[in-house]
């Protein structure tokens, strides 16, 4: 039973500290879009937000050993991102700085959004996704929204819905798979 | 749990058993599909958890799309313009009479635009020429040249100093001169709404573009005055 809904993060971070790129890849893919969304509120530019997001994760990889676990991992990542964003806002030479912080020099592969991912960050796509979530069977919808919207752990969701944790896990997974199928068939396919 | 995707979903939620993490990470490392699935899980979560922020981004993307759509429209318009080129080159004498053009001018223009050579030029499609015409139609500033030309000898005064238009009270137009003849050796013209676009080759390998509600005979007269 895990009450902390991001409990696996600490295990993954320990792996990253030992140089485990697979664990870093997981954390980067998990948090990339959240960091990007946060940065967008500063830059109002897709290109700059994505550049800053990549630079953020490059710094995460380089500085992970300094993460002491005093805060949640995302909070620490967010702080790095916001510091970079402040430099971006105050510096007219951001483009030059980008060149000096070349991601190609790092020994790690940094993610970028592909076209299908970008196609999801559109009003029409978001509307379709939210509508589809609303049409999910009640049991899947409840488990999924309690997890994603309210951030509850599987254990907490199980208590609220009077359901075993294994069932909660399965329902959340089935909800995600249904949404993923819908996205592949109705959104990405049509691009 | 046997399904790797279900394990991935649980790891994403931070709820996977510790002894199963390495297995999922290995699978993830070898599968682009799984990485993409993980990334989309994250975007789905964001779409319902951080509605305000994501909507801002989506709105910005929508504005970006509008620019793309305008480019697509332009691209389509170029194709349409190529069709216009083909269409207008088979204009016959009757068309000229409807445009109130004198028979003499009509003869000159008709012989130019209906010639075999002209049709071949059009059939080969001059992309640069189409581009030029689309600039005339789509870019309001394109015809605002800085150099004014004295056209009082043919009855036209500058009507709008700001936008450098010419008028004789009844007809008005804008004019610009290119230091390239686009390979033209005959008059070319297009109809756009209630206006006409004329390209008239003049001396020195130049071409005059005249755009406005003006007849072909007047356009030729104006171009001839510039020649001199």
Q: Which residue has the tokens 């020099």?
A: A105
A123 Cα to chain B: minimum distance (Å):
5
Contact A169 B57 (CB under 8 A): no
Q: What is the mean pLDDT of residues B134-138?
A: 71
Between the alpha carbon of residue B175 and those of residues A10, A136, B25, B144, B198, the distances in Å are 71, 63, 67, 8, 10
Rounded Cα–Cα distance for residues A21 and A154 (Å): 28
Rounded Cα–Cα distance for residues B11 and B7 (Å): 6
Q: Write down the pLDDT at residue A152.
A: 92
Give the predicted TM-score (pTM) of the model: 0.57
B46 Cα to chain A: minimum distance (Å):
7
The tokens describing A115, both together, are 């076209």
Percent of chain B with pLDDT over 70: 57
**Short-list B53, B128, B62, B220, CA closest to A49:** B53
**pLDDT tens sequence across B12-44:** 999 999 999 999 999 998 898 999 899 999 999
Which class for A11: exposed (0-12), middle (13-18), buried (19 or more C-beta within 10 A)?
middle
Interior angle at CA B5, CA B16 and CA B46, nearest 5? 80
Between the alpha carbon of residue A144 and those of residues A178, A181, B7, B41, the distances in Å are 11, 16, 16, 11
Between the alpha carbon of residue B80 and those of residues A63, A127, B10, B73, B173, the distances in Å are 56, 35, 54, 10, 23
Q: Are A133 and A179 in contact (CB under 8 A)?
A: yes
Chain B residues in contact with A172 by the CB 8 A cut-off are 9, 13
Closest-CA residue of chain B to A29: B39
Rounded Cα–Cα distance for residues B77 and B73 (Å): 6
Closest-CA residue of chain B to A47: B61
Rounded Cα–Cα distance for residues A187 and A182 (Å): 7
**pLDDT tens sequence across B150-192:** 888 888 888 766 667 888 888 888 888 888 776 777 787 777 7
Per DSSP, chain B holds a count of helices (H) and strands (E) of 9, 6
Interface of A with B in 67-96 (CB under 8 A): none
Q: Are A4 and B11 in contact (CB under 8 A)?
A: no
Q: Are B157 and B168 in contact (CB under 8 A)?
A: yes
Q: Are B184 and B166 in contact (CB under 8 A)?
A: no
Rounded Cα–Cα distance for residues A35 and A85 (Å): 11
Tell me B110's DSSP state. Answer: H
Contacts of B27 (CB under 8 A, 6+ apart): B4, B8, B34
Q: Write down the pLDDT at residue A51.
A: 87
Q: Write down the pLDDT at residue A40.
A: 83
Residue bearing the bigger pLDDT, A153 or B141: A153
Chain B residues in contact with A21 by the CB 8 A cut-off are 29
Q: Write down the pLDDT at residue B86.
A: 34
**Short-list A106, A87, A111, CA closest to A31:** A111
Rounded Cα–Cα distance for residues B10 and A173 (Å): 8
Give the nearest partner residue to B45 out of A4, A46, A148, using CB atoms: A148
Chain A residues in contact with B47 by the CB 8 A cut-off are 120, 126, 129-130
Residue bearing the bigger pLDDT, B59 or B224: B224
Contact A173 B16 (CB under 8 A): no
Percent of chain A with pLDDT over 70: 85
**pLDDT tens sequence across A72-101:** 899 999 989 988 887 776 665 555 455 444
Q: Are A84 and A36 in contact (CB under 8 A)?
A: no
Grouping H, G, I as helix, E, B as strand and the rest as coil, residue B63 is helix
Cα B53 to chain centroid distance, Å, stands at 34
Name which of A3, A113, A115, A121 to mutate to probe chain B: the one with the most chain B Cβ atoms within 10 A of its Cβ: A121
- Please indicate if any CB of chain B lies within 8 Å of the CB of A188: no
Give the nearest partner residue to A148 out of B40, B49, B55, using CB atoms: B49
Rounded Cα–Cα distance for residues A6 and A72 (Å): 9
- Please indicate if any CB of chain B lies within 8 Å of the CB of A147: yes
Q: Write down the pLDDT at residue A162.
A: 95
Instruction: Please give the domain boundaries of chain A with CATH numbers for all domains.
Output: 1-112 (1.10.1740.10), 115-191 (1.10.10.10)
Closest-CA residue of chain A to B45: A148
Q: What is the 3-state secondary structure (H, E, C) of chain A?
A: CCCCCCHHHHHHHHHHHCCCHHHHHHHHHHHHHHHHHHHHHHHCCHHHHHHHHHHHHHHHHHHHHHCCCCCCHHHHHHHHHHHHHHHHHHCCCHHHHHHHCCHHHCCCCCCCCCHHHHHHCCHHHHHHHHHHHHHCCHHHHHHHHHHHCCCCCHHHHHHHHCCCHHHHHHHHHHHHHHHHHHHHHHHHCCC
Mean pLDDT lowest among A12-26, B22-36, B201-215? B201-215
In our burial notation (b when 16+ CB lie closer than 10 A, e otherwise), range B167-204 reads bbeeebbbbbbbeeebebebbbbbeeeebbbbbbbbee
What's the whole-number average pLDDT of chain A? Answer: 84
B74 Cα to chain A: minimum distance (Å):
20
Rounded Cα–Cα distance for residues A17 and A19 (Å): 5
């Amino acid at each position: 039973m895990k009450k902390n809904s991001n409990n696996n993060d600490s295990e993954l971070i320990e792996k990253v500290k030992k140089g485990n790129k697979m664990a870093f890849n997981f954390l980067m893919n998990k948090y990339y879009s959240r960091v990007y969304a946060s940065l967008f509120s500063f830059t109002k530019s897709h290109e700059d937000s994505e550049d800053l997001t990549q630079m953020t994760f490059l710094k995460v990889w380089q500085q992970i050993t300094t993460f002491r676990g005093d805060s949640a991992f995302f909070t620490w990542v967010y702080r790095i991102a916001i510091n970079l964003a402040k430099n971006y806002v105050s510096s007219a030479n951001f483009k030059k700085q980008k060149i000096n912080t070349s991601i190609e020099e790092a020994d790690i592969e940094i993610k970028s959004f592909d076209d299908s991912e970008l196609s999801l960050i559109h009003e029409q796509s978001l509307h379709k996704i939210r509508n589809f979530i609303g049409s999910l069977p009640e049991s899947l919808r409840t488990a999924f929204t309690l997890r994603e919207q309210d951030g509850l752990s599987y254990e907490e969701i199980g208590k609220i819905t009077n359901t075993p944790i294994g069932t909660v896990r399965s329902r959340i997974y089935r909800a995600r798979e249904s949404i993923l199928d819908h996205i592949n068939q109705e959104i990405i396919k049509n691009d | 749990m046997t399904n790797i995707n279900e394990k991935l979903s649980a790891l994403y939620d931070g709820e996977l058993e510790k002894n199963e993490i390495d297995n999922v990470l290995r699978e993830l490392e070898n599968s682009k599909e799984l990485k993409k699935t993980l990334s989309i899980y994250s975007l789905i979560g964001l779409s319902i958890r951080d509605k305000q922020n994501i909507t801002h981004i989506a709105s910005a993307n929508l504005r970006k799309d509008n620019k793309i759509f305008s480019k697509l429209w332009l691209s389509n318009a170029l194709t349409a313009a190529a069709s216009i080129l083909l269409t207008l080159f088979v204009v016959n004498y009757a068309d000229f009479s409807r445009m109130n053009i004198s028979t003499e001018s009509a003869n000159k223009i008709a012989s130019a635009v209906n010639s075999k050579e002209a049709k071949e030029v059009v059939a080969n499609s001059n992309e640069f020429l189409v581009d030029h015409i689309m600039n005339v139609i789509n870019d309001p500033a394109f015809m605002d040249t800085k150099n004014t030309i004295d056209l009082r000898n043919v009855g036209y005064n500058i009507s709008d100093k700001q936008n450098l238009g010419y008028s004789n009270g009844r007809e008005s137009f804008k004019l610009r001169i290119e230091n390239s003849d686009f390979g033209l050796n005959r008059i070319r013209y297009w109809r756009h709404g209630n206006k006409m676009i004329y390209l008239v080759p003049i001396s020195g390998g130049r071409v005059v573009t005249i755009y406005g509600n003006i007849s072909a005979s007047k356009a030729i007269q104006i171009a001839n005055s510039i020649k001199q």
